[in-house]
Amino acid sequence: MQNKQNRRAFIANTGKAAIATGISLSVLPAMAKSFVGFAPNPFAQQPLPYEYKALEPIIDAMTMEIHYSKHAATYAKNLAEACVAEKVATDHTAIEEVLHNISKYSGKMRNNCGGHYNHELFWQCMGPASGAKPEGKLAAAIDQSFGSFDAFKTQFTDAGKSRFGSGWAWLVINADKKLVIGSTPNQDNPLMDVSDLKGSPILGLDVWEHAYYLKYQNKRPDYINAWWNVVNWRYVEKRFESL
């Protein structure tokens, strides 16, 4: 445990040092996956893989700070409580297994296990503005599934825009190994047995108002259109290729 903590602290400090010393921010998205790999507990909130201001002007620093340190932190705290109450052994249980069987747990577990998992994925799916596009196998799969990258973006954007109330838009790989776009309400996600949309999520977009209201107010479509500029396609590609 001590080694893991030291390792994690080293990685976190390396990230801060990289920012402080002006090392190209483009290396940071590549480091992001490391936080997941070394996470001592996937049920706990991990360090944000960039500074609150790193996604400006697309996502303003105050929105990032409130989103990460208040909203997402609360999901993690409530998830920890639910795990104790419902006897989930977080040291040797895959969080995906809880999500796959979420109908067997409480509403508190559903809301907060989903909320925690979704946000941890969301932070990794973003990085300092790059305007990049998917490459390699993922780019080919997107072209094959949706016709073109632009057609994919339009369909995904529509999924986010048309989700009534609060929820998430997703790009998932389904059981037939096909790429599918869809959305889920509240903090549900496509890993849950209760979800209409099913599959392994490789890209997720938070369309709750708390994700964009300070800067975009009621204009969710403007937020989604801008968000494409901070998608960390290198991370999404790794996720796609790992499944």
Q: Which of 95, 206, 224, 233 binds Mn ion (CB under 5 A)?
A: 206
* CA dist 131 → 75, 99, 227, 230 (Å): 30, 32, 10, 7
Identity of the amino acid at 105: Y
Nearer to Mn ion, 208 or 216 (CB): 208
Q: Dihedrals φ, ψ of 19, to 5°?
A: -70, -45
Size of the site for Mn ion (CB under 5 A): 3
Provide the minimum distance between the beta carbon of 208 and Mn ion in the complex, in angstroms, as a whole number: 5
What is the rounded distance in angstroms from the CA atom of residue 152 to the CA atom of residue 101?
30
Part in contact with Mn ion (CB under 5 A); list of ranges 1-9, 13-21, 189-197, 203-211: 203-211
Stretch that binds Mn ion, among 18-26, 37-45, 50-58, 204-212 (CB under 5 A): 204-212
Query: Shortest gap between Cβ of 118 and Mn ion (angstroms)?
Result: 7
Shortest separation between residue 141's beta carbon and Mn ion, angstroms:
27
Q: CB of 205 within 8 A of CB of 169? A: yes
Q: Which of residues 100 and 210 has its CB atom nearest to Mn ion in the complex?
A: 210
CB environment 201-228: b (16+ within 10 A), e (fewer) = bbbbbbbbeebbeebbeeebeebbbbbe
Q: Which stretch binds Mn ion (CB under 5 A): 106-114, 162-170, 211-219, 225-233?
A: 211-219
Q: Which residue has the tokens 């609060």?
A: 166
| Residues at the interface with Mn ion (CB under 5 A) | 206, 208, 211
